[in-house]
Structure 1
């Protein structure tokens, strides 16, 4: 999975100077980087195809750099090595058009975050005796300067909503389409991460609670196994109720119901790949129905994922409706309010409106 072009398989299948050979403290129970990388990816990235691809891409980038520099494996890299790698990906590069460009800050931040996460997890689980990547990523500074950019425009979202609430396509079974509409409604109007809609039988989550006024609240498990409650707007309830009727369930979940929210065709809980594919299918259909000259929106829809809907949900709360940051933080399940605050920096016109409103003309 990790082998980039020009890197021999044996390069990763060994242990470096910082690998912990003491079985008592090496809780992973493996003796080389190849096995340790697989466990890391399974633990930290397997819940989302998009996350897994991103993690593998960044680890391949590091492996390719190590090969060029005649370094490695990963568990042999020193702090100085990793700092040199950071300098390399931040340095300007010459391109075929004769221009020199630097990697986008978001690209650099993502690359360093993945590498830092690998070493921190390895050290925490005892595979490494030290963490040479401590402080590699910018940490707090990165969170304060990061700005989410993976958004769909209001027009693109409206186009997707029209597709999702429209008639069943001729080539899609009605039961599949009803399920797809329900999945779209949950990601579109709850702002959840991909993995948060995956059924956890031990916790009986995610689940829906309905109050006396027939208002729905979605309960999910977020990062750090923290449970949070997300009120669902009325806009998404028709699709969810229609899907429950197709499954032979009452419109509203009764108290104590412990069933997966979404099922596969075989009757089991639908996993992360299935959920991801259903949302991507809505994006693809919306892109296919665009006029031929609307290439910009088509490109955006073809590259969108479930996390784009989460970004859009956050922006709607923070920018469009000025929801207080602590409230938005609780709804999104952010560990830090600083992460929630980044969405406020995505619209400079909002800042101008705040200033004008604070200092009106006499």
Structure 2
């Protein structure tokens, strides 16, 4: 008698997850894949270095590999390699979400876009963001050392950006609700003033280099240009439920493809992305056994764990409790960690 497949919630990674440590991972896991050859051909025709070249031939340089037109497609390809490797006999993917750019990957993972259509979307958006590079992002935590919520601290941080916004030309907005951290977006004046006002805390405040002010009104120009350049035609209802940056569920039986396009190239670009809400909905509505983050990298793991602790999922109430559970029987699988990747691949 066959065993009932475990239920997985997939969390797709966003920008900043392909670093020097991940250089070579795409070649290792998908070097001979037909889809990678097609992606490479498209980039070659566009006069861009291929993903295979970036991952294996061109030595890693953050100024090159971190550019939007290279970083975004690399991250998508690495995540796609991991998603295709998951053993579908032992695991059932019950819902898919992502962080920021991870929403575009989620569209492909849930078949709301075909592989090539998602590649075009991701490459185009990465290039447009890089060319305009309107504003930037800054990251700051609001949880304690055990990753437990400090709601008063969160309120203070939101009040701070509200106070600084508009002073001496400063523009500041909440960009992403990222587990136990807040990502702020703004112009250079605003980010500089915010960095001066925030108490130094280990490596924070952390400026995210080569990141525009994603999910803020500063991206209106990118939004308008993207809607002109990228049609709704390739969009379709997903085959697996998708959870967007508001916590809204797009189901296979009730999703309007045009509305999905409208959100992706509309509100998603200029309003805050609530990654924590997306996780909350995924956990409560779909009751997964485990949460899986495809690669590249492991940087999204901490924020996801912090969100799980906030939600008290499976009794997790601290960093210590989370680490003990991970050592015993991981509920959060980061495919960027080889030992954890082996647990879910076919």
Shorter-chain TM-score above 0.5: no
**Larger of the two Rg values belongs to structure:** 1
Q: More strand per residue: 1 or 2?
A: 2
Higher RCO (CA 8 Å, separation ≥ 6 residues): 2
